[in-house]
Amino acid sequence: MRRSSIMATTTTRPLLVLVATVLASSLLPPPSDAAAAAANPAAAFDSWIAKNQENYIVNMALYAKKAAGDGGKTLDASLSAAEEKKTTYVIDPSGKGDYATITAAIADIPNNNDRRVILDLKPGATFREKLLVNLTQPYVTFKSDPTNPATIAWNDTAATPGKDGKPVGTVGSNTVAIEADYFMAYGVVFRNDAPLAKPGAKGGQAVAVRVFGTKAAFYNCTIDGGQDTLYDHKGLHYFKSCIIRGSVDFIFGFGRSFYEDCRIESVVKEVAVLTAQQRTKSIEGAIDSGFSFKNCSIGGVKGGQIYLGRAWGDSSRVVYSYTVMGEEVVPIGWDGWNVAKPESSGIYYGEFKCSGPGADAKKKKRVGWALDLTEEQAKPFVGAHYIFGDSWIQPPSVTEGGAKGTEAKAPTAAAASANASSTTAASSATASSTTTASANASSTTAASTKASSTATAKAGTASTTTTKGAKA
């Protein structure tokens, strides 16, 4: 039974805002830190919180200044105010919470929301809903238990007909669309369980999460799908201890994002491409964008082949540091896609102190235009400063009295190479919803373009068949 609605609630609960400031002296941690964290993940999470508290005290003078909220070194004032007014609602399909569906809870969040609204999803529950957190609903958190996470699932593809009878396109295929700023997720599975697209099939893009709002953070989440799993659309984004699975271009977009301690898995035996990042002047802020992966692990189906990325346009930027690369990573590493002369373009692909069979210096034969970064070259990419995190990244707000959960750490090199097929989202589940789905998420921005394609292996290089078309 619903106890109260978001619209009707007027009480607030104070929260001591905890900001994760990344100090320059800790930007390049020794590999032993990752090993210790893997051995005792719960202690690692507590240590992470403790360091944030210490940094908060050390930097109190900075926070006392007027907060610009623009990615500077002061706490974002609007975020601070929202956190101090946080409120939590339990979402339980059985009807024992405040809401039975996430859709209903989101519908009650007022326009121009100014407080942190935590939607506490029942652990282990599956919500078959297509969700949109719109531009006027900032400060929303989806929270569950990382040890028994709630799952949000849907199965649209780019070819799915919309209300007007036309295909929804890649932008509209998402299970969850986040267009609001300051979104946070903790311990939740986001899944698009449409059947995996066949090589060369048209309209097979199936987005699990599309993140358009800025200053969004995902902790201990799983993002599951096939082609175009995670649409890292635009803005500053942080992914901590997440699992991301897919096939072709399954992390793509124009975002400026930092992936830390994440596990990246291919779910196909064919060639997989992890990233398709684009910097472009046509989208505000995108020219300064790029994906940075630190302390992550890469693996997939045994016998498959994985490319670290392919150039979506001539200014793509992706960097991997301290990352364990499984044997599935191909020796050349990267694909120039349809860029005629990548060596003279604005493409910036680099690796720094990576390990594992896929990064073995004796075996790898990286393309000549990819960089083996020096420590100085790597510094801009190896900390949350890359996404100006000292003004907005903070630990997940949790329900008062609730369990903190256990932090999932990146697997070992052996685990990174394990067969991931048993845990993929390749099922053809029917969308017989037990909830009322929200309207199709339509982007308010101009539609971007990207080739939908399938990469096929040929003599150790990526031979791709592409069909140029609108993402929307």
**Residues annotated catalytic, as ranges:** 249
Return all residues near 133 (Cβ < 8 A) that are at least 6 apart.
106, 140, 176, 177, 178, 179, 180, 183, 213
Whole-number Cα distances in Å, 259 to 31, 271, 304: 17, 22, 23
The most distant pair of C-alpha atoms in the chain lies apart, rounded to whole Å, by 64
Using the Cα atoms of residue 320, residue 325, residue 328 and residue 331 in order, give the sign of their dihedral: positive
Alpha-carbon span 115 to 18, nearest angstrom: 16
Alpha-carbon span 398 to 82, nearest angstrom: 14
Which DSSP letter does residue 141 get?
E
Return all residues near 201 (Cβ < 8 A) that are at least 6 apart.
454
- Please say whether the beta carbons of 119 and 107 come within 8 A: no
- How close are the terminal C-alpha atoms of the chain, in Å? 39
Provide the H-helix boundaries in 122-240.
Answer: 169-172
- Please say whether the beta carbons of 149 and 188 come within 8 A: yes
Residue 94 CB-density burial (10 A; 0-12 exposed, 13-18 middle, 19+ buried): exposed
- Cα angle 293, 296, 298; round to 5: 105
Kind and range of the H or E run holding 250: strand 248-253
Return all residues near 8 (Cβ < 8 A) that are at least 6 apart.
none
Radius of gyration, CA atoms only, the chain: 21
Kind and range of the H or E run holding 246: strand 243-246
The closest of 218, 206, 151 to 174, measured between CA atoms, is: 206
The label of the residue with tokens 């590493």 reads 333
Within 13 A of 33's CA, how many CA atoms are on the CB side? 12
For residues 198, 202, 204, 209, the Cα torsion angle rounded to the nearest 10 degrees is: 140
